[in-house]
Chain A
Amino acid sequence: MTEWYGYLKMILDGAAVTAELTIMGSALALLMAFVAGLGRIAPWSPVRWLSSIYIEFFRGTSIFVQLFWVYFVLPFAGITLSPLLAGVLALGLNVGAYGAEVVRGAILAVPRDQSEASVALNFTRFQRMWYVILPQAVPLMLPTFGNNAIELLKATAVVSLISLTDMTFQAQVVRSQTGSTLFPFITILILYFIMALAISASVRGLERRMTRGLDGVR
């Protein structure tokens, strides 16, 4: 029984790495989503093109291929990243590309008269975005962002293949050390599921908070 406790602790150590990756990756993804999403609707065409290329590229190839490329090919160009950094970079850039489309869609979904009214009130472009459009657009983005964060959590399992000691990697170590297959894999499946539930619960909570007072608008 005591040895199982040790193996469980190994898996929980891995769970911490998975959580760390998910949080850091989501932060980068959120940043990239807004940068590229706003870029797609920017009034300057080079910015629009750059954003489109970024989005199509990262949506067009899988996270797995991107991760391997970052980890194995970049070192030959003189850029060596630690597995954690490579993981965060690949996950954040990949999910950010999906998020960018969400940001663009939500901003375009805010009725046009809102934007016209703020022009009539002599708001600057920044004020229009920050005080009028985004407060209405962000609640629209939240549910899809929640799904994207869960996709990111699921994608973190792939980093185990570039020798990062996340939950999936630790489960494989436990499997090879004990020969037991059911215990490690059931444990991590449940842990992943709990983390996914935690993400969707917190996104729902956030959504409730942000839509408070918006009843008349939506």
Chain B
Amino acid sequence: MEWDWAFVAKIMPTLLEGLKLTVLITILSAFVAAGLGLVLAIAKRSRNGWIAKPTAMLIEFIRGTPLLVQLYFIFFVLPDVGIVLPPLVAGVIGMGLHYATYTAEVYRAGIENVPKGQWEAARATNLTVPQTWIHVVIPQALPPMIPALANYLIAMFKETPLLSAITVLELMNQAKSVANSNYRYIEPMTLVGAFFLVMSLLSVILLRWLERRYGRLAK
């Protein structure tokens, strides 16, 4: 079977529709992951062992199990207890939760990256705890986190095709449906691959720039 440009032109609008949804899902999940990750990072740092330990275990568990199965869990199990979510919402929550465990780790490393002397100096100059966080710790901890967070944003973008398994009509699912209805797989599948490759190569350039601009986070 040969490559057919006319077919490419015909399916392009459908694929672009899927690409739009893919980007939207990535952005929404990124917000969930960034916010929830902060909650997890703070909970894990808590001095109360009853909060810190279960949070650490939850993070370990989510990181040790596949995103696809977590998506199935949210999509198929939750309706049994009365929580029915539209596929898109289930997907965004699943992906956001999964990546929150990764961003939590970035926040932790970023905060621990701030030298202990800074905390002591803030205390010595009689700053309150909120002042210490807002004026001393966060301004120093945040810039090195940016490239690391951007890295997970790219990873999330590449994982969005998994949402096709819970019937979200993103790029991969659009490609599969046009491929199935026309019984031509070469063009749709290759185009999906090309879309992802181009987007990731562009984002790698952006990432390198961010790393130069803000520096890397020491592990």
Contact = CB atoms under 8 A, between A and B. Distances in A.
Interface of A: 56-57, 59-62, 64-66, 68-69, 72-73, 76, 150, 153-158, 160-161, 168, 171-172, 175, 181-182, 185, 188-189, 192-193, 196-197
B197 A60 contact: yes
The winner among B66, B77, B79, B172 for most chain A CB atoms within 10 A is: B66
Interface in B154-189: 158-159, 161-162, 165, 172, 176, 179, 185-186, 189
Contacts of A68: 172, 176, 189, 192
A193 B62 CA distance: 8
A188 B159 CA distance: 20
Interface stretch (B47-55, B68-76, B129-137): B68-76
B65 A192 contact: yes
A61 B179 CA distance: 19
The winner among B1, B70, B189 for most chain A CB atoms within 10 A is: B189
Given A65-B192, A192-B69, A76 B64 contact: no
A192 B66 contact: yes
A155 B79 CA distance: 26
A69 B164 CA distance: 15
A93 B103 CA distance: 26
Given A64-B172, A158-B162, A175-B76, A76 B186 contact: yes
Contacts of B200: 59-61
26 contacts: A59-B200, A60-B200, A61-B196, A61-B197, A62-B159, A64-B161, A68-B172, A68-B189, A72-B185, A72-B189, A73-B189, A73-B190, A76-B185, A154-B66, A155-B66, A157-B66, A158-B162, A160-B68, A168-B68, A171-B69, A182-B77, A188-B69, A189-B65, A189-B70, A192-B65, A192-B69
A62 to B, nearest CB: 4
Contacts of A155: 66
Contacts of A160: 68
A189 B69 contact: yes
B4 to A, nearest CB: 12
B193 A65 contact: yes
Contact of A69 (B63, B73, B162, B190): B190
B61 interface: yes
A172 B192 CA distance: 26
